[in-house]
Structure 1
């Protein structure tokens, strides 16, 4: 399928994509709040500036876009037709950075949870996912890295 935008329009579109306060992130934040969790956002002092930080439980949550972080789903497996080498390198760098950040956080004693954009499409499934992943974190003492 050919791109319906010229390169200038596509460049403007891509530049407008936000890195924080995205719709998937807002869905996760809203659900966490309704479940009684309180959190901090985008702490600069932590590796990777996690989207959501549950300080009390020493848990961080990253809300990853499927395309940008190469999730194994139909949205993450899309390979751009134009500038394929550029995108392969860019997305590969993103994956490497994610691995480094996760390792640094875990080494510092943080529990890391990744929520994928595609997992935020169903509120019921997202709530179950969060409940199951955070149930072990119901008390701060239960988290062991």
Structure 2
């Protein structure tokens, strides 16, 4: 297996850690890598249980960022359906969570951590106002 595949991690990525650190310094508490809904195989990166907010920090390559997604030149017949399946799974996860009254916030890994935290805080405030 290639080194890049081995080093691919599903949690505690650099962008995720930076966002979590900033949230924590603001006094916000959350759960990490949690599946609070009926499908326990679909886990959110950061979960605010009381406000029912699930945050996903999506990697540009793996989740098809409209600005930065690329398709590898080698083995394109393998990667094209694999990446398309990831995007479809993301849509299904969002729909499933929303059907169970969860608000889903998806943040691309390239979003600066401070900006990501502001998006999360606004989503939390919007949830409180509902």
Class of the TM-score when normalised by the shorter of the 2 chains: 0.7 to 0.9
The gaps in structure 2 that reach 5 residues or longer are: none
In the superposition, the TM-score normalised over structure 2's length comes to: 0.87
Partner of 2:87: 95
Partner of 1:133: 123
Partner of 1:31: 22
Q: Which has the higher strand share?
A: 2
For residue 35 of structure 1, report the CA deviation from its aligned partner. 2.2
For residue 15 of structure 1, report the CA deviation from its aligned partner. 1.9
Question: Which structure is higher in RCO with an 8 Å CA cutoff and minimum separation 6?
Answer: 2
Larger Rg computed on CA atoms: 1
- The runs of 4+ residues in structure 1 deviating greater than 6 Å are none
How well do the aligned residues superpose, as a CA RMSD in angstroms?
Answer: 1.7
Give the 3 Å change call, closer, same or farther, for CA 40–124 of structure 1 in structure 2.
closer
Q: Which of 14, 26, 31 is the equivalent residue of 1:40?
A: 31
User: How many residues are paired up?
Assistant: 127
Give the 3 Å change call, closer, same or farther, for CA 18–128 of structure 1 in structure 2.
same
For residue 26 of structure 1, report the CA deviation from its aligned partner. 0.6
Deviating more after overlay: 101-110 vs 44-53: 44-53
For residue 96 of structure 1, report the CA deviation from its aligned partner. 0.8
The gaps in structure 1 that reach 5 residues or longer are: 1-7
Alpha-carbon distance between aligned partners in 1 of 2:44 and 2:114, rounded to the nearest angstrom: 24
In the superposition, the TM-score normalised over structure 1's length comes to: 0.79
Partner of 2:4: 13
Alpha-carbon contact 2:51-2:124 (below 8 Å) kept: no
